């Protein structure tokens, strides 16, 4: 149809998680209409990221420095480690500003269906970190899915004999959540984990 | 939050028509996990497109050659010109294989709301082409929207005194369309433009 250069770019773009063939095609045409203002700067920005960003060998975060800025930040509590599924979740917690310790990117969650066992995840690295770096608390900030829960159970077993506090994020009604729109599982969980207000 | 290089790339990606900030962030992380297999080839493919693709001076199509392959193809009917809103619509018609003439990319449709008048579109260029190149038919393949229809009326007026057939795409029930799911406008149009089957 269109030139092979364009088809090849559309093919590569459409494999990105958020884009299909149609939106990739629209993106390419958009860029061709904004050569100087958008297309050339985008290519330059991609070069910068490809050349300068790497995974932190300590926590797995993506950053320009090795170790990453969070691992190097002495004002953060280096003995409190928050375990996340991936870097996107790490960044989400950073945006929320909820946590002032350091992270450990697991690289996924256990999933028998997808053939992801403990060996595929950075679990041994987490245990080594807890043992060698005198970690005081491990916060398991994993997704509230079946696989995420299975991983929480597995990790709390693996960490049980070590001298470390293990915690997980609370479950319940999200902020702004209308009960009417919540799924049954969340409602049951929130009801069972209800907090007493008087004493 | 994350490194400025990453934030800049996310910012540029999220301005693409199909991506928001969240999907741009997911795309960047995906690429950082596929450096050699996907990220580097994507940058290279973008370079190729930026360096080699330009707008055809005759019809407005995007291609490697000047004029484009369609305008140069002598087996296509160079006297039959199909007018489209943009290059995406041109490619859609090419994928459908419905047309063996040449194209004219208008660059949009008339829209009082968006301040797009005849001067903003390649309308004079179309008239010149019809006059100078002995065009036999102009097919108006414009969107079936209010603005698209207004543009069809405007163009058929502008072309009325020239010795050229002017046509537009038919309107009606799309292939596979369930009447129950169609909007009222399409149903009315399809009813009013019904075809008699016996004679």
Beta bridge partners of A120: none
pLDDT confidence band for B1 (50 / 70 / 90): low
Question: In this complex, do A18 and B23 lie within 8 Å of one another by their Cβ atoms?
Answer: yes
Give which of A114, A116, A110, A93 is closest to A148, Cα–Cα. Answer: A110
| Nearest beta carbon to residue A5 from set B26, B39, B52 | B52
What pLDDT was estimated at residue B190? 82
pLDDT at residue B14, as a whole number: 94
Distances (CA, A) of B113 to A127, B71, B116, B123: 62, 33, 8, 19
Residue B115: the pLDDT is 94
Prediction ipTM score: 0.80
Mean pLDDT of chain B: 92
Please say if the pLDDT value at position A10 is more than 90. Answer: yes
CB contact under 8 A, A18 and B16: no
pLDDT band for position A186 (cuts 50, 70, 90): confident
For the cut 90, the answer to whether the pLDDT of residue B185 exceeds it is no
Q: Which residue in A19, A39, A88 is closest to B29 by CB distance?
A: A88
Q: What is the pTM of this model?
A: 0.79
- SS3 state at B13: helix
Q: Do B12 and A91 touch (CB under 8 A)?
A: no
Q: Using CA atoms, how far apart are residues B33 and B30, in angstroms rounded to an integer?
A: 5
């Amino acid at each position: 149809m269109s030139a092979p250069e364009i088809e090849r770019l559309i093919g590569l773009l459409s494999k990105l998680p958020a884009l299909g063939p149609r939106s990739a095609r629209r993106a390419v045409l958009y860029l061709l209409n904004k050569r100087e203002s958008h297309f050339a700067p985008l290519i330059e920005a991609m070069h910068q990221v490809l050349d300068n960003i790497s995974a932190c060998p300590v926590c797995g975060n993506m950053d320009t420095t090795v170790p990453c800025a969070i691992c190097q930040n002495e004002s953060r509590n280096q003995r409190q480690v928050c375990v996340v599924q991936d870097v996107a979740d790490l960044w989400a917690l950073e945006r929320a500003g909820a946590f002032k310790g350091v992270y450990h990117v697991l690289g996924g969650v256990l999933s028998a269906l997808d053939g992801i066992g403990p060996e595929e995840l950075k679990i041994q690295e987490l245990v080594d970190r807890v043992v060698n770096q005198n970690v005081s608390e491990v916060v398991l900030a994993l997704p509230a899915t079946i696989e995420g829960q299975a991983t929480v159970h597995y990790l709390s077993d693996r960490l049980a004999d070590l001298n470390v506090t293990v915690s997980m994020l609370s479950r319940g009604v999200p902020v702004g959540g209308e009960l009417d729109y919540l799924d049954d599982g969340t409602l049951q969980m929130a009801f069972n984990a209800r907090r007493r207000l008087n004493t």
